Amino acid sequence: MKSLRRYWETHHGEVSPLLRIRDRLQSKSHPLEASEIRELAGQVALPEATVKSVISYYSDLHEDREAIRVCQGTSCMLAGAEELQQELQKRKNCKAAYCLGYCDRSPTLLTAQDEVICSQQATALVAGEKTPATAETPPLSVRCLAPEPTVTKRAGANYSSLEKARSAGVYSALAQALQSSPEELLSLVERSGERGRGGAGFPTGTKWRRCAECPGETRYAIANGDEGDPGSFIDRVLMENDPHGVIEGLLLCGYGVGASQGIVFIRSEYPTAIKRMQEAIAEAQDAGILGSSVLGSNFSFEISVFPGMGSYVCGEETAMLNAIEGLRGEVRIKPPYPVEAGLYGKPTVVNNVETLVNISAIVKKGAEAYAATGTAYSSGSKALCLNHGFASPGIVEVEFGTTVRQVIEEAGGGAGGKTIEALLLGGPMGSLLLPEEWDVPICYGAMAERGIQLGHGGMVALLEGTDYSALLEHWLRFMMDESCGKCVPCSLGSQKAWNLVRNQSADPKCRAQLEGLFEVMEEASLCAFGQYITGPMRQIIEHFGDRIFTAGGG
Amino acid sequence: MAVKTLKINDIYVAVEEGLTILKAAQEAGIYIPTLCHLEGVSDIGACRMCMVEVEGINKLLPACVTEVAEEMVVRTNTAKLKEYRRMNMELLFAEGNHVCSVCVVNGNCELQNLAVEVGMEHCRFSYRFPDKPVDISHPQFGIDHNRCILCTRCVRVCDEVEGAHVWDIAHRGEECKIISGLNQPWGEVDACTSCGKCVNACPTGSIFHKSTPVAVMKRDRGSLEFLSTAREKKQWTR
Ligand SMILES: Cc1cc2nc3c(=O)[nH]c(=O)nc-3n(C[C@H](O)[C@H](O)[C@H](O)COP(=O)(O)O)c2cc1C
Ligand code: SF4
Ligand code: SF4
Ligand code: SF4
Ligand code: FES
Ligand code: FES
């Protein structure tokens, strides 16, 4: 039976309709006229209604391109981003964004010229100061608590030129892997015990094997650089400072699973990452690292960058595939899984950027040595992102098994000597941890046993005096703004829950109604977004309900 | 043809491999509520009314898109499921303006029937009373967005069976809205062949025949199923 998805067949994956629609929109300073959309629809071989639908789905395709993006992500929200936007809006054209990847220096703004303004500079700009008193943006701090750095090896400085990357050893693992068969690489990754860092902790080797063993000629390897979770920024830093490390990881993935085309999907909130990745790809292409004969072997691999267009859910792998195919970023029903039928219906591996950067270390170290680090369930190390609420924010790489408390202590506790009341771990679908829970080791297994989601490893400190009612409302606002709208519990439930918190928190029935709604979302939503986003909210209500529900319902 | 045997609500059912739980249940005469599912068009698993429990799987599964497996043990009507379906229904009702007494399909409405079915006597959420438009620009039909539940049955039937693709969904999340053409009045969309398939596909009173007095419109769903079977199996006689 034919379904709506058949339209991709008409463009054979050459240039995504979505990119063509975006380029057309960008070539004009005004929204397209009806006749122009008609013409465009003909060019991209999509029905007119679908083109209209797609434009209205992606924020970047209908919001003002000249507006300054004011981050309303969790970390920035806690730094007063809402008031900041209200103030700035009086003088400048603004729009909201959810996380610009500078959560260690909130609040953050991104200009239409791709300039990031953060921390005190942002506040100064809003206050109307022409030249901010503190001219320097505080630098990013990258630290490593593991015996040796893996992910953060090249994250602390700019290694984006090929020469510098090569002198730091990038592409030597690739050369080594090309000496042996893809099967050996697959087996190596399986034995390493690596788990995906994108959130779910799925074993990388298993995923690759499934894809490699699906019949078919064409396969795709995709690096997920969408990093939508407000509070994490490691992928941004990797793509900006270590783009060749990402390319090497994706090349290894392609070689292992038998793909010849790779895509790096990067959110548009990360313009510098997009630019650096594109430049690095071009440089690698010129040097014969990418192309029809990778490092002189008979392995052929090409990589292109696909920019996100302003939708959180597009970080979910099947929504991402829809976006690349030129459709709305709605989540697909699984099965079939992307490894069986992914991009254009072909077997596809989607791996997080950080997951891929680990692969070269596995090749170099050997599977057994890699598996010996970390815990039995989660081998290797993980980069954690600490927001401005910590005394020493930034990126901290830790071996799996390190406790949350150790990380918080290393960071010197709360900023300005304030007490950390609770920790938000792992972004919107993550968890809230009270101090008594901080002895949990960072490990997908140990955390799952306690119902804790590590997510992508973002850590946002909730300092004494946090307004939990505002935090809860923020969480629901995020859900409303970002739900793809496909299923009823998530798209309608979020609106109802937000309304309850905003307008009826004094009603004694409010809390019970809210919890009832959460249950339906968790149990009946189609994807992990609706199923897990309630977790932190439930914990906020459980521990701080008395500060939210005024009718004593807490 | 391989056969799978499963148990639905303690009844053994043997069906062809590759069928969905929903189909298997229908063959066995077991009712599972559905809304976004429509015979003859692709399934999207979006309304979540057909969720069932499957032993050994710790989450609920949508029956319309989940394939049967050997020795599967399915429950379609547990207290938990009933509560979720009811809550789901309430979400739909609170979202739109469903004043059944003045609706063209009163008594013939899938949404209304389902509400009765799941025992929704009242809605626990405050109604939103949205101010949504009614478009009567088409010479024969009209669409009242106040009654639309965004099931996309009209989108799929118009695309997959009629091949016109007049409808689509605009925006995202709770702002989603059905649009015709370039979000223009239906009557101005050249692609529409006035075949009436979307009218028959709509489970609510959202898309209707104009000049239909309150509560007399009946859908011709059979003709729709016939059409799609005809196309698939090339059988053009009824
Ligand atoms: C709503 C939603 C958003 C997601 N966003 C991201 C993201 O921004 N980056 C990411 O790597 N994975 C994200 N994921 C997880 C991906 O679907 C996928 O599991 C992951 O990219 C797989 O990579 P891994 O196996 O290397 O972890 C998201 C999942 C959901 C449900
Ligand atoms: S849970 Fe939310 S994001 Fe996921 S499919 Fe449903 S509406 Fe879309
Ligand atoms: S009447 Fe037919 S062609 Fe017109 S919108 Fe409805 S289904 Fe599509
Ligand atoms: S108009 Fe009818 S068929 Fe179309 S989405 Fe709305 S309720 Fe469903
Ligand atoms: S930069 Fe604002 S939350 Fe990440
Ligand atoms: S009928 Fe199965 S999800 Fe709608």
Per residue in A409-458, pLDDT (tens digit) is 999 999 999 999 999 999 999 999 999 999 999 999 999 999 999 999 99
Q: How confident is the model at residue B124 (pLDDT cuts 50, 70, 90)?
A: confident
Q: What is the reported pLDDT for A153?
A: 97
Q: Atom 8, ligand 2: which residue's CA is nearest?
A: A484
CB B236 within 8 A of CB B223: no
Question: Residue B127: closest CA among chain A residues belongs to which residue?
Answer: A496
Out of A463, A478, A496, pick the residue that ends a domain.
A463
User: Sheet of B73-75: strands edge to edge?
Assistant: B11-16, B3-8, B73-75, B51-54, B61-62
CB A137 within 8 A of CB A306: no
Q: What is the reported pLDDT for A132?
A: 56
Nearest by CB to residue B179, choosing from A49, A482, A493, is A49
Ligand nearest to C-alpha B43? 6
Residue B16's DSSP bridge partners are B3
Over 50: is that where the pLDDT of B238 sits?
Answer: no
- Compute the nearest-CA separation of B70 from chain A (Å): 17
| Cβ within 8 Å, pair B173-A482 | yes
| Average pLDDT of every residue of chain A | 93
Preferred mutation among B22, B158, B168 to probe A, highest tally of A CBs within 10 A: B168
Nearest by CB to residue A49, choosing from B48, B166, B172, is B166
Chain A stretch 499-518, residues whose beta carbon is closer than 8 A to a beta carbon of chain B: 499, 504, 513, 516-517
Residue A523 touches partner B, C-beta closer than 8 Å:
yes
Over 70: is that where the pLDDT of A554 sits?
Answer: no
Any domain includes A553: no
Q: How confident is the model at residue B128 (pLDDT cuts 50, 70, 90)?
A: confident
Q: What is the reported pLDDT for A135?
A: 59
Give the E-state strand segments of B172-231 in sequence order: 177-180, 207-209
Residue A50 touches partner B, C-beta closer than 8 Å:
yes
Q: Which residue has the higher pLDDT, B98 or A530?
A: A530
A204 and A103 belong to one structural domain: no
Helix (H, G, I), strand (E, B), or coil: what is residue A244?
helix
Buried b (16+ CB within 10 A) or exposed e, A148-170: ebbbbbbbbeebbebeebeeeeb
| pLDDT tens-digit series, residues A136-184 | 678 999 999 999 999 999 999 999 999 999 999 999 999 999 999 999 9
Before A147, cis peptide (omega within 30)?
no
Nearest by CB to residue B182, choosing from A48, A57, A504, is A48
What is the rounded average pLDDT of the residues B117-145?
Answer: 91
Preferred mutation among A490, A520, A525, A532 to probe B, highest tally of B CBs within 10 A: A520
Both tokens assigned to A398: 């830790």
Chain A stretch 264-323, residues whose beta carbon is closer than 8 A to a beta carbon of chain B: 311
Any domain includes A133: no
A314 and A216 belong to one structural domain: yes
Is B84-233 a CATH 1.20.1090.10 domain? no
Residue B203 DSSP class: S
Chain A stretch 444-483, residues whose beta carbon is closer than 8 A to a beta carbon of chain B: 480-483
Domain that holds residue A437: 381-463
Before A107, cis peptide (omega within 30)?
yes
Any domain includes A122: yes
Task: Tell me the three-class secondary structure of A516-536, residue by residue.
Answer: HHHHHHHHHCCCHHHHHCHHH
Q: How confident is the model at residue A5 (pLDDT cuts 50, 70, 90)?
A: very low
In the numeric block, the tokens 């650089």 are attached to: A225
* Bridge pairing between strands B73-75 and B3-8: parallel
| pLDDT tens-digit series, residues A102-112 | 999 999 999 99
A332 and A204 belong to one structural domain: yes
Q: What is the reported pLDDT for B129?
A: 84
The total number of structural domains in chain A stands at 5
- The verdict on the CB of residue A75 being under 6 Å from ligand 5 is yes
Buried b (16+ CB within 10 A) or exposed e, A301-340: bbbebbbbbbbbbbbbbbbbbbbbbbbbbbbbbeeebbbb
Q: Which atom of ligand 3 is nearest to the CA of B141?
A: 1
Any domain includes A137: no
| pLDDT tens-digit series, residues A389-398 | 999 999 999 9
| Cβ within 8 Å, pair B173-A333 | no
Domain boundaries, chain B: 3-76, 84-233
| pLDDT tens-digit series, residues B70-86 | 999 999 999 999 999 99
CA dihedral (A25, A228, A99, A137) positive or negative: negative
CA dihedral (A462, A465, A469, A471) positive or negative: negative
User: Sheet of A381-386: strands edge to edge?
Assistant: A142-144, A394-399, A381-386, A458-463, A420-425, A431-433
Question: Residue B166: closest CA among chain A residues belongs to which residue?
Answer: A49
| pLDDT tens-digit series, residues A62-89 | 999 999 999 999 999 999 999 999 999 9
Residue B209 DSSP class: E
Q: How far is CA A244 from CA A100, A170, A261, in A?
A: 22, 7, 16
Helix (H, G, I), strand (E, B), or coil: what is residue A499?
helix
Q: What is the reported pLDDT for A391?
A: 98
Q: What is the reported pLDDT for B121?
A: 83
Q: What is the reported pLDDT for B130?
A: 86
| Cα separation, B7 vs A521, whole angstroms | 27
| pLDDT tens-digit series, residues A124-134 | 888 876 665 55
Any domain includes A44: yes
How remote is the CA of residue A385 from the centroid of ligand 5, in Å?
Answer: 11
Of A521, A500, A496, the C-alpha closest to A511 is A500
Q: Which atom of ligand 4 is nearest to the CA of B150?
A: 5
Q: Atom 3, ligand 6: which residue's CA is nearest?
A: B45
| Cβ within 8 Å, pair A487-B47 | yes
CB A10 within 8 A of CB A42: no
Q: How far is CA B223 from CA A145, A391, A463, B142, B199, in A?
A: 68, 69, 63, 20, 12
How remote is the CA of residue A544 from the centroid of ligand 2, in Å?
Answer: 27
A322 and A190 belong to one structural domain: yes
Q: How confident is the model at residue B226 (pLDDT cuts 50, 70, 90)?
A: low
How remote is the CA of residue B166 from the centroid of ligand 3, in Å?
Answer: 6
A189 and A314 belong to one structural domain: yes
| Cα separation, A53 vs A148, whole angstroms | 49
Q: Atom 23, ligand 1: which residue's CA is nearest?
A: A351
Question: Residue A485: closest CA among chain B residues belongs to which residue?
Answer: B173
Radius of gyration over every alpha carbon of chain A, rounded to an integer in angstroms: 23
A216 and A258 belong to one structural domain: yes
| Cα separation, A226 vs A232, whole angstroms | 11
| pLDDT tens-digit series, residues A288-346 | 999 999 999 999 999 999 999 999 999 999 999 999 999 999 999 999 999 999 998 99
Any domain includes A146: no
Residue A206, Cβ density class (10 Å: 0-12 exposed, 13-18 middle, ≥19 buried): middle
Task: Tell me the three-class secondary structure of A306-342, residue by residue.
Answer: EECCCCHHHHCHHHHHHHHHCCCCCCCCCCCCCCCCC
| Cα separation, B53 vs B55, whole angstroms | 7
Question: Residue A497: closest CA among chain B residues belongs to which residue?
Answer: B125
A389 and A429 belong to one structural domain: yes
CATH fold for the domain made of B3-76 = Ubiquitin-like (UB roll) (3.10.20)
Ligand nearest to C-alpha B172? 2
Nearest by CB to residue B87, choosing from A333, A499, A520, is A520
- The verdict on the CB of residue B21 being under 6 Å from ligand 6 is no
Which amino acid appears at position A489 of this protein?
P
| Cα separation, B207 vs B145, whole angstroms | 8
Q: What number of residues does chain A have?
A: 554
What is the rounded average pLDDT of the residues B114-138?
Answer: 90
| pLDDT tens-digit series, residues A26-55 | 998 888 999 999 999 998 889 999 999 999
| pLDDT tens-digit series, residues A388-422 | 999 999 999 999 999 999 999 999 999 999 999 99
Any domain includes A214: yes
- Within 10 angstroms of residue B234's Cβ, the number of other Cβ atoms is 7
Any domain includes A233: yes
| Cβ within 8 Å, pair B183-A484 | no
Question: Residue B49: closest CA among chain A residues belongs to which residue?
Answer: A524
Q: Which residue has the higher pLDDT, A129 or B177?
A: B177
Q: Which atom of ligand 1 is nearest to the CA of A482?
A: 1
Residue A496 touches partner B, C-beta closer than 8 Å:
yes
Residues of B in contact with A4 (CB under 8 A): 42, 155-156, 159-160
A314 and A433 belong to one structural domain: no
How remote is the CA of residue B36 from the centroid of ligand 6, in Å?
Answer: 5
A273 and A336 belong to one structural domain: yes
Look up the CATH number of the domain holding residue A443. 3.10.20.600
Give the E-state strand segments of A448-552 in sequence order: 458-463
Both tokens assigned to B110: 């899938």
| Cα separation, B166 vs A462, whole angstroms | 49
A349 and A412 belong to one structural domain: no
Q: What is the reported pLDDT for A123?
A: 86
- Of A68, A70, A71, A481, the residue with max ligand 5 atoms within 8 A of its CB, to mutate for a pocket test, comes to A71
Q: Quick one: what percent of chain A has pLDDT higher than 70? A: 95
| Cβ within 8 Å, pair B169-A328 | yes
3-state helix, strand, coil in chain B (%, to 5): 30, 15, 55
Q: Which atom of ligand 6 is nearest to the CA of B48?
A: 3
What H or E segment, with its residue span, contains residue B3?
A: strand B3-8
Q: What is the reported pLDDT for A2?
A: 43
How remote is the CA of residue A323 from the centroid of ligand 5, in Å?
Answer: 24
Q: What is the reported pLDDT for B99?
A: 84
Q: What is the reported pLDDT for A417?
A: 96
Of A181, A174, A178, the C-alpha closest to A244 is A174
A95 conformational bin, left if phi > 0, alpha if psi -120 to 50, beta if neither: beta
Q: What is the reported pLDDT for B126?
A: 84
In the numeric block, the tokens 């989450």 are attached to: B59
What H or E segment, with its residue span, contains residue A498?
A: helix A488-503
B14 conformational bin, left if phi > 0, alpha if psi -120 to 50, beta if neither: beta
CB B91 within 8 A of CB B125: yes
